[in-house]
Amino acid sequence: MPDLKLDSPLQYVKGVGPKRGEELARHGLATVRDLLAYLPRHYLDRTNVVPINRLRIGEMATIIGEVKAHGILHGKRQRYEVMLQDETGAIALMWFAAVRYWERYFKKGMVFAATGRVTDFMGLQIVHPDLERLEENTDRMIHAGRIIPVYPQTAALSKIGLSSKGIRQLTTFILEHLSERMPDHLPVKEHQDLNLPTLHDAISGIHYPRSREEIETSRRRLAFDELLGLQYVVFQNLGKKRSAVKKHSYAEPGQKLKQIKELLPFELTSGQKKVTREIFSDLQQQTPMSRLLQGDVGCGKTVVAVLAALYAAENNLQCAFMAPTEILAEQHFRNWRGPLANVGVTSDLLTSNLTSAQRKSIGKKCGEGKIDILFGTHALIYDYVSFERLGLVIIDEQHRFGVEQRGKLFAKGDSPDLLVMTATPIPRTLALTLYGDLDISTIDDLPPGRKPIRTVWRMDDARPKILEYIREQVKEHGQAYVIYPLIEKSDQVDLENVEDAYKELTVSIFRDLRVGMVHGRVKPKERDEVLTQFRQGKIDVLMSTTVIEVGLDNPNATLMVIEHAERFGLAQLHQLRGRVGRGEKQSTVVAIAHGPLSDIAQQRLEYFAANGNGFQIAEADLQLRGPGELFGVRQSGLPELRAANLTSDRDLLEASRKLLERLFDKPANLDKPYRSLYQYLRTSSEQRQLQLGGG
């Protein structure tokens, strides 16, 4: 075939064809350039494949052998075992999860490279190894005997023969036949000053490194490019913010605000008072407010947001208050409609749960200016909803909304003020990177009377005692949550699920308790009824998935049990913990882990049990697993971080910020290489926004 170009369609690459090409395109991989940007997830170092008879207990090792026997072992805990043999001996590979899946996967005579930590239990074994199937001896020059990349996988790609191994074969072929170098937009001086390779060399090195050092230098170059693209959007938004002028204005806080503060059954904390002053000061400026309000779970952000909404209503402006779930939107509305009505402010609720006629009626009333504060979910962005004088947009748990959704809501007003909130405290490094265009307010104290939540973690063999402890708490007039990772049983993963647990426990240990169940597939009306009963104390134990993670407020709930806690990130565990401890009673969280535990999972659980500070939790979570989806990078309209690590790449972060300051300072006076870089970043940003739907 002719030499490949960067823009050559993948379907014409040897070994792809129309069918595979179509599936790759569905994964965003249409051209050679796209596939070269598909970065490995991690690497297996097979430069030194160890014979089985030379394995040492405790070491990480790669072995290559043939499947001699395999099957399910029964005992205290069911497991799947594969005996892998080379010329020197045999070793057991062991899985404790997804047993039925592995039963279908292995066949006698298959050859695998297996990588993992060697342990000893009645003989040498590796538990949950990384596997690569090797079909032919000639295959091993690509897939073993070197540092090999392992690529992100989906069931659809594997089904058409493009497992990690298949992707490796494609990238090898492409790099051998590519007739042009990857164009480098970064000025030579910049990558020399930072000791970074050219973009082409970094792409080659990330896919087929000759050493661990080459992986890191290649990754750092690609990370620098990602951080430049990410912060370009932030700098661009900051420029737009500084140049915008709003048409509405605010007088000094008036009588309605004074009245509602007097109606509150509590005194605002010093943190709440401080951020309220910051927000009110912003609203009085000529440029639209763009402020992020963050604080730990239960610190009282919603009160501050409602005061801001009331301040807008006092100035004859409307407020759109968007929450990520119907549960949370309904709770905000239910808690505040009475106090707001008492001071002469109208509010309403708009969710998809309403009938079409109800939704259109609310949309019409809002368009006529008859609603001051409209609480709702993403239903607020629909075309039938309009505002006569939208002055303030409040977005709760902002990282759960895509950039297009936020943009559509914002466009319903004329340069409205924007307040976004998060109960996932954001480490300073990440806040500067993702939200450098926003002013940040932080509530750093909790309402008085809250007791620290006692948190422990236990292995699953302690479950009988834990279930008995739930019964004891209910007898003492407490209520409990029991959280599960899945709705129903899955063939792919061997995890506890809420539906089976509900059926089992309600006829055994919970048979004389009042038990409710909610999850994402329960119909909204039925779910709301269960949650209302739980709040009213008519249900003792609420069994649920993480659907209750944000917003559910029941001061009488004193206990939470989290099944398969090792499967959750630190920040999500902390969010779940925030559902208890909302009253004056002592509350407890018990995290149940199922082995075998990785070192990181155990570290995460120990940190969770020892630390209740949301900001420290967020920093630790960032270090343990990176930003990922946690802070909504993919949802925000910012470039996704595949190579960059915001914890370890702080020098690159600072260097990229300094470079962008120079680019944005006087773009018209830049030298040619820097003008080209500025234009490249601008074009990339515009293309990304188009792909996201123009938000």
Residue 62 sits in the same domain as residue 26:
no
Q: Quick: pLDDT tens for 440-457.
A: 888 988 787 778 899 999
Q: Is the N-terminal amide bond of 596 cis, ω within 30° of 0?
A: yes
HSE-CB for 588 with a 13 A CA cutoff: 15
- The whole-number pLDDT of residue 84 equals 94
Q: Which of 136, 168, 191 is the last residue of a domain?
A: 136
Residue 635 belongs to some domain of the structure: no
Residue 546 has pLDDT above 60, yes or no: yes
458 and 428 both lie in a single domain: no
Mean pLDDT, residues 581-607: 89
The model's pLDDT over 2-47, given as tens digits with 9 standing for 90+, comes to: 679 999 999 989 889 998 999 999 888 999 999 999 999 888 776 7
- Structure tokens, 669: 């006076």
pLDDT of res. 551: 61
Q: Residue 514: give the domain boundaries.
A: 454-611
- The pLDDT > 70 percentage for the chain reads 90
Are 344 and 395 found together in one domain? yes
- Both 459 and 545 in one domain: the answer is yes
Whether 35 and 61 map to the same domain: the answer is: no
Q: What is the CATH number of the domain that holds 316?
A: 3.40.50.300
Assigned domain for 526 exists: yes
> Would you say residue 118 has pLDDT above 80?
yes
Q: Is residue 548 part of a domain?
A: yes
pLDDT at 405: 67
For 343, list phi and psi in degrees, rounded to 5: -110, 15
Half-sphere exposure of 424 (CA within 13 A, CB side): 24
Q: How far apart are CA 590 and CA 91, in angstroms?
A: 37
Separation between Cα atoms, residue 598 and residue 43, nearest integer Å: 18
Q: How confident is the model at residue 204 (pLDDT cuts 50, 70, 90)?
A: very high
Regarding whether 550 and 485 lie in a shared domain, the answer is yes
Domain boundary among 568, 594, 611: 611
- 442 - beta bridge partners? 294
Q: Which of 611, 642, 665 is the last residue of a domain?
A: 611
645 in a structural domain: no
pLDDT in tens, 256-291: 999 999 988 889 999 999 999 999 999 999 999 989
**CATH code assigned at 129:** 2.40.50.140
Q: What would the pLDDT profile of 389-441 be if each residue is shown by its tens digit?
A: 999 999 987 655 655 666 778 888 888 999 988 877 666 666 666 666 678 88
What pLDDT was estimated at residue 630? Answer: 40
In total, how many domains does the chain have?
4
Burial of 572: CB neighbours in 10 Å, binned 0-12, 13-18, 19+ = middle
Examine residue 405 and state whether it is found in any structural domain, yes or no.
yes
Tens of pLDDT, residue by residue over 231-257, are: 888 888 777 777 788 889 999 999 999
- Are 437 and 514 part of one and the same domain? no
Report pLDDT for 635: 42
Q: Note whether residue 691 is domain-resident.
A: no
| Statement to judge: residues 581 and 459 lie in one domain | yes
Asked if 408 and 517 sit in the same domain, the reply is no
- Answer yes or no: do 511 and 368 share one domain: no
Are 488 and 564 in a shared domain? yes
Residue 303 has pLDDT above 70, yes or no: yes
Judgement on whether residues 588 and 480 belong to the same structural domain of the protein: yes
Distance (Å, rounded) from C-alpha 168 to C-alpha 164? 6
Q: What are phi and psi of 157, to 5 degrees?
A: -70, -45
Q: Is residue 6 part of a domain?
A: yes
Q: Report yes or no: 347 and 372 within 8 Å, Cβ to Cβ.
A: yes
Please compute the mean of the pLDDT values over residues 356-384 and round it to a whole number: 93
Q: Judge whether 370 lies within some domain.
A: yes
